[in-house]
Structure 1
Amino acid sequence: MRHFFVRHQPPHRPHIALLAGLGGLAAIGVTGAFSLHAGVPLLIAPFGASCVLLFSLPGSPLSQPMNVVGGHVVSSAIALGLHMLLPGAWWAAALAVGLAITLMALLRVTHPPAGADPLLVFAADPNWGFLAMPVLIGSVSLVVIAAVFHRLTGTVYPLKAP
């Protein structure tokens, strides 16, 4: 039972942990300010979790631009389609999460925070415009801010192609 409580994540140096927090603050802050200024919604709750990966684990394959944007778009598109076909079916949200995981894995764009997108779609009842804004524009914004932030702080992001 003790193996359930072992922390496998290597420790962060305090200044790296602080930079990760500042990066998340900057990404959500800038995207939120732009959203307010433009009068369009660009933030969704799963983007907070995306920031954890983008700024705390920028070298992870799950944090790379194609994964962040592709994962959110794929998951939201599946959810929107199922929600249109099966409105009000409680089990359709579970099906959407399962299908999103499967398709992200097959397309090699797995991004764990995007697994929450179907739940948001079923709770908020958005139309297909949700896919462009906030999902596509918002996730691209986060990636651009992360790339600039990491360049300024000396961290390699995104990873170079093999």
Structure 2
Amino acid sequence: MIKITKLLLQKALIAGFFSTITIGVLTVLTYKSTLGYFIAASFGSSMVLLFGFPESPFAQPKNVFFGHLLTALVGVLFVNFIPLPIYMSIAFAVGIGVFLMILLNVVHPPAGGNPIIVIIGSASYDYLINPIIFGCIIILLLAIIINKYLLQKNYPFK
């Protein structure tokens, strides 16, 4: 049985609210402007870390930005240069993405899904700019403003 304390409820409400705001900004930019795509499916799970567990090493800006960029790049490289059946491409790309995130100390678990998204969608190099780079910049700016200044948390964690 889950014991829902006042503190747990407050944490969940805050994380849910600010996740809604952040993803809302990305979706408005994506669907109500002509600026391009700013949202990636993996950003939804990034919200769990950025607003639910901002003290986690996996939620720090370096990990969020480079984790997403690195794994999306792996997916794009597989789409463009590695002619394997999709079931093999996805498996190898995810494995290589995880390997590289750990090796380069930029682990962000939600980014592990990027190669799947990229390969299934046959995304081009443009995907690295929009939504990955610009989307990450926006979610990180909002995470810093919200966590550090509104919620008075030690974010980014130093």
Does the alignment reach a TM-score above 0.5? yes
Q: Does the alignment pair 1:13 with 2:13?
A: no
- CA drift of 1:88 comes to 5.7
SS in 1 for 2:30: helix
Distance, in Å, in 2 between the alignment partners of 1:145 and 1:37 is 19
Q: Does the alignment pair 1:104 with 2:101?
A: yes
Q: Among residues 20, 29, 32, which one is paired with 1:25 in the alignment?
A: 20
**Matched residue, 1:47:** 43
Distance, in Å, in 2 between the alignment partners of 1:32 and 1:158 is 24
Q: Does the alignment pair 1:93 with 2:90?
A: yes
SS in 1 for 2:123: coil
Distance, in Å, in 1 between the alignment partners of 2:72 and 2:16 is 26
**Matched residue, 2:29:** 34
**Matched residue, 1:124:** 121
- CA drift of 1:93 comes to 1.1
Name the amino acid aligned to 1:42. F
Contact 2:64 2:136 in 1 (8 A): yes
**Matched residue, 1:155:** 153
Please list every run of 5 or more consecutive structure 2 residues that lacks an aligned counterpart in the other structure.
none
Name the amino acid aligned to 2:39. L
Distance, in Å, in 2 between the alignment partners of 1:29 and 1:47 is 12
Name the amino acid aligned to 2:99. T
Q: Percent identity?
A: 32
Name the amino acid aligned to 2:70. V
Distance, in Å, in 2 between the alignment partners of 1:30 and 1:157 is 20
Change (3 A) 1:70 1:77: same
- Total equivalences in the alignment: 152
**Matched residue, 2:139:** 142
- CA drift of 1:15 comes to 1.2
Please list every run of 5 or more consecutive structure 1 residues that lacks an aligned counterpart in the other structure.
1-6
Distance, in Å, in 2 between the alignment partners of 1:127 and 1:98 is 20
Distance, in Å, in 2 between the alignment partners of 1:12 and 1:89 is 48
Query: CA RMSD for the aligned pairs?
Result: 1.8
Provide Cα deviations, 1:105-138, integer angstroms capped at 9, x if missing partner: 0110000110000000111111111011101110
Alignment of 1:59-78 (within 5 A): 59-78=55-74
